[in-house]
């Protein structure tokens, strides 16, 4: 999966899970500070990413992701490692 496809799908999942407008979901947006995710929403977001991309994400590492851009890079690496 190329980076543009990962970015588009990450944006789609974030909009749906956090109920924010798509224009707020930019690479520099922080999940907590800018998009209003609390710890419960963050865990749900990790689960939604796993389903959307059909990957396994180690929760500790995934929860250290702070921005949309971090998530895109993290998921791209996970997809590459898992052959997606």
- CATH code (residue 46): 1.10.1200.10
Phi, psi of 30 (to 5 degrees): -90, 135
CA distance 36 to 50: 21
Maximal CA-CA distance, the chain: 33
Interacting residues of 79 by C-beta distance below 8 A, sequence separation 6+: 1, 6, 53, 55
- Tell me the residue range of the domain where 74 lies: 3-81
Contact status, residue 75 vs residue 1, Cβ threshold 8 Å: no
Is the confidence at residue 60, as pLDDT, over 90?
no
Residue 66: which pLDDT band, with cuts at 50, 70 and 90? Answer: very high
Q: Is the pLDDT of residue 62 over 90?
A: no
User: Which residue, chain included where needed, has tokens 């690479």?
Assistant: 27
Instruction: Label residue 58 by pLDDT band (50, 70, 90).
Output: confident
pTM beyond 0.85: yes
Tally of domains within the chain: 1
């Amino acid at each position: 999966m190329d980076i543009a496809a990962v970015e588009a799908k990450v944006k789609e999942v974030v909009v749906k899970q956090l109920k924010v407008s798509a224009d707020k979901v930019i690479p520099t947006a922080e999940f907590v500070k800018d998009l209003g995710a609390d710890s419960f929403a963050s865990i749900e977001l990790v689960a939604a990413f796993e389903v959307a991309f059909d990957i396994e994400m180690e929760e500790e590492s995934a929860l250290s992701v702070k921005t949309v851009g971090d998530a895109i890079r993290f998921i791209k690496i996970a997809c590459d490692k898992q052959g997606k």
